[in-house]
Amino acid sequence: MLISACAAPPAANVEIGFRNPTAPIGGTSRFDKARFAGDWSTVACLGTCSTEVRYVVATDDVFVRQAEGQDTPYLISAPGVLRQMGGDETLVVMWIDEGFRTAAIGDADGRWAAILNRNRKAARDRITAATEILDFNGWDVAKLRKVEG
């Protein structure tokens, strides 16, 4: 009598992100590439975030994210939605204040999100608004941490 041993297949390496993947996420209709371009400081973060980042308009539909000595090009596929060229990351600018001073941005896959500000001293009301938007878009804001420059 032959008995074969059956083993369960190895478990897939599942990465749990900082965002509920069933929650809807969308880019802000207020997004304006020329006004969004420039230098930003990360004041709060989920996951791994660069403390300083710059967005540069390369062409009509291409933005370049400069962070930690690396330039990453993104195609602007919809207002506030930036798809990495030659990669799989999609950045979503979920909110930006009217003065383009504070923004809530994150990776659509839930690997990281950040509250960006034009300088290190963001107004409390704008930080609160950005945090509420992250929460609305399914992010685990209980894990949001302040970033010191």
Q: Please list the pLDDT of the chain residue by residue as tens digits (149 residues).
A: 444 444 444 444 445 689 999 999 999 999 999 999 999 999 999 999 999 999 999 988 999 999 999 999 999 999 999 999 999 999 999 999 999 999 999 999 999 999 999 998 889 999 999 999 999 999 999 999 999 86
Distance between CA atoms of 18 and 15, rounded to whole angstroms? 10
Q: Please provide the CATH number assigned to the domain covering 33-141.
A: 2.40.128.20
Residue 87 CB contacts under 8 Å (≥ 6 apart), including other chains: 72
pTM listed for this prediction: 0.87
Amino acid 108 reads A
Torsion angle, CA of 99/103/108/109, rounded to 10 degrees? 170
Q: Give residue limits of the domains in the chain.
A: 33-141
